[in-house]
Amino acid sequence: MKKSIAIIPMSLLAAALSIPSVRAYADDNPPGNHRQREELRRDQQQLEQLRQRRNREIREGDKREAREYNEKIRDQQREISRDRKSIYGDRDGWRRDRGHHDYNHE
């Protein structure tokens, strides 16, 4: 019985400590302006709609339409990448290089 009583205060303590740390990550002044972030959200929504339409065409067996949607999806992904780069900088390049190790470099 004492173990179960001890678990409750520990879980409450853990929750109380985690709440302020979550707020520490929230940024009152996010990068980019409101218009840029809103445009990025719209582009991401359009991308999701294109993917859903493509998947519907695949289910219906219309491969030609699905290929056209694939092209539109690639274009939309490029647009999102450009938007992210203009808002957040070149963080994607950093992520790309993170896993790369040059073992021949001394």
Q: Give the tens place of pLDDT for each residue, 22-41.
A: 444 555 667 778 888 899 99
- In terms of phi and psi (left: phi > 0; alpha: psi -120 to 50; beta: otherwise), the region of 30 is beta
Contacts of 63 (CB under 8 A, 6+ apart): 57
Number of separate helices (H) and strands (E) present in the chain = 4, 0
pTM of the model: 0.57
| Calpha distance 67→82 (Å, rounded) | 23
| Calpha distance 89→36 (Å, rounded) | 13
Spans of all domains in the chain: 44-87
At residue 68 the predicted structure's pLDDT band, cuts being 50, 70 and 90, is very high
At residue 58 the predicted structure's pLDDT band, cuts being 50, 70 and 90, is very high
